[in-house]
Amino acid sequence: SLLFTVVFYWFVGFTGFWTAVVFWLESALLVLMFVYLGQFFAYAMPSEEVAQITGILFNSIFMMFIGFSPPAYAIPSGYTWLYDICPFKFPIANLIALVFANCDELPTWNEATQSYENVGSQLGCQPMADAPETVGHITIKEYTEEYFGMKHHQIARNFGITLGIIVLFRIWAALALRFINHQKK
């Protein structure tokens, strides 16, 4: 994940050294989360094939409900519980909020000139270009937070939840390794 961050982060135009460090740390934790969930399935299932199928099923379901596609606000009410329990939404929300929802002071919309004033240099402060008519004028930070539910002020909370989920996956893997035995006697 370090090599990915070194290449990707700067290549796509993101800025800020400490933001890049946190981005790398969060992407490393996301990779660990995937690995430890897979390790749990490998310990808990009777064969490698069943573990792979179970992992694919869980990853497919959880990736659909991380709040990106469909956006968090558009998830039907009967499925919001899947969004709420999705373990991958927390590190993904942090990765996105770090770069797209970071804005110290939002610019103000001037009705007379039909443009933003006091636009900061951060990516989240920039007005969203070619926004749909239904969205109107909005900054990237506002769009990220309103439509995707990935808020910059929740980064510390999401980081803690990510660490908690990783510990939970490790505990599940240890319990599966200790108590589940698929050997035939």
pLDDT tens readout for residues 18-33:
999 999 999 999 999 9
pLDDT of residue 118: 83
pLDDT of residue 39: 96
Using the CB atoms, write b or e for 46-55: b if 16+ within 10 Å: eeeeebeebb
Count of structural domains, the chain = 1
Asked, for residue 184, whether it belongs to a domain, the answer is no
Mean pLDDT, all residues of the chain: 91
**C-alpha to C-alpha distance for 166 and 28, rounded to whole angstroms:** 11
pLDDT interval class at 151 (50, 70, 90): very high
pLDDT(185) > 80? no
Asked, for residue 148, whether it belongs to a domain, the answer is yes
Asked, for residue 66, whether it belongs to a domain, the answer is yes
Asked, for residue 137, whether it belongs to a domain, the answer is yes
Asked, for residue 82, whether it belongs to a domain, the answer is yes
Asked, for residue 185, whether it belongs to a domain, the answer is no
- Name the pTM for this structure: 0.88
Q: Domain of residue 98: give its range.
A: 2-179
Query: Are residues 180 and 126 in contact, defined by beta-carbon separation less than 8 angstroms?
Result: no
